[in-house]
Each structure stands twice: as structure tokens, then as C-alpha cells.
Amino acid sequence: MSVNNKKIVFIDRDGVINFDSPQYIKNEDEFVFIPGSAEAFGLLKDNGFETIIITNQSVIGRKMVTSEGLEKIFSKMRTGIIESGGRILDIFFCPHVPEDKCGCRKPEPGLLNMAKEKYSVDMSGAYMIGDTAKDMLAAERAGVGRKILVRTGSGVKTLDKIKSGELNTPDYIADDLMAAVKWVISDGTGLI
């Protein structure tokens, strides 16, 4: 399937769409939307954007969540997003732990490369929205055109890495996913 006529927005999950936890998100009850994040998907859809979730889920490799359990969490996310008028084109997740040294766990670009292959994405015209340095680095390595950091989740900690020069400055820093999406839409069409 080609989505060449559509702009693609890659979005990290934990700390961007839902509140993150140092104890991980292990079941659907622990998946709680950050206010406005489900609605942000509706705004993207209304403006002709497609969204692809790119998420590290080491909870699988750590045996804290089964594949079925992860699907249930994704299902809650999809349902909330559809109820808010949005949609998700696809979800790419890395199940590994860092010790696996895989090519898909962000900051590696593997998941983004898989999405690029599957949907013939023009990466230079695509966006990545995330809350960590891993998100920004993976996007950089995969050639994603615009990188947006949100202040939710680990975002504020990530800002320190930018200030110290450890991480390149993203194209935009947004308070949350909704603010990031508004910037994406204005960048893409000049409407806002």
C-alpha cells in the first residue's frame, strides 16, 4: 500500500498519547490518555494526515506483558482514538530489551524503516512526535523530515539534553500532542 498522496505523522505512544509510568504500562487499565491526545488524532485525520505509532515495548521481552495483553492495550488506544474522530494507519512496536541489541528498538531506526517500506513513505515529508531522545534520534537516523518534542512524559528531561548539547534541537517543541499536531497542520498547509 502506498500513501504517497498523504502526509505521514509518526507518533510515539508512552508519554505522548498516554501517561507513562516507571513501572511500565502493563494492562489496559494503566493506559490513560493524556488530555487532548485522542482528539489530536481527529484533527490530523480531518486535515488529511495518516498516523503510524512507533513504540518500544520492552515489556514483552521482560515478560511483563504477553502479546495478547499488548494487543488489548493497543485496542483501548485505537478505540479511544476512533471515538475522537481519528484513526491509526498502523502500529510498529519493538518487543526487545536493550540487551538484545536489535535494530528496531529506538534510537535505532528499524521500526521507522519498516513503516517506510510497507507504505512507501516519503520520509523527508514525514513528521515524528515523541518525548525522548530515542524518538528524536531514531527519526534523525531514518531521515524523517520534521522532529517534534513534546513536554509531556519524559519531554522536560529531554529538553535538558538539548540544552547541554547532547541532542540536536528538534524542529518544534510543543506542550503536548495536541499542540504538536496544530504545528504539524500549520506546517503542512499554512491554515493555522
The single residue among 39, 131, 171, 176 that binds Mg ion, judged by CB under 5 A, is 131
170 binds Mg ion (CB under 5 A): no
CA distance 47 to 108: 30
DSSP state of 179: H
14 binds Mg ion (CB under 5 A): yes
The single residue among 12, 50, 108, 171 that binds Mg ion, judged by CB under 5 A, is 12
Which three cell numbers mark 48? 488529511
**Residues from 35 through 54 that contact Mg ion (CB under 5 A):** none
Site string for Mg ion, 75-114 (x = CB under 5 A): ----------------------------------------
Exactly one of 12, 135, 171, 176 is catalytic; which is it?
A: 12
Report whether 84 contacts 35 (CB < 8 A): no
Report whether 31 contacts 18 (CB < 8 A): yes
How far, CA to CA in Å, does 41 sit from each of 33, 44, 93, 104, 177?
12, 5, 19, 25, 9
Q: Is position 14 annotated as part of the catalytic site?
A: yes
Closer residue to Mg ion in complex, CB, 74/188: 74
Interacting span for Mg ion (CB under 5 A) from 42-50, 105-113, 118-126, 146-154 = 146-154
176 binds Mg ion (CB under 5 A): no
Which three cell numbers mark 186? 500549520
Backbone angles phi, psi at 141, to 5 degrees: -70, -30
**Residue with CB nearest Mg ion?**
15
Closer residue to Mg ion in complex, CB, 14/39: 14
Backbone angles phi, psi at 107, to 5 degrees: -85, 5
Catalytically active residues, by annotation? 12, 14
Footprint on this chain of Mg ion (rule: CB under 5 A): 12, 14-15, 131, 153
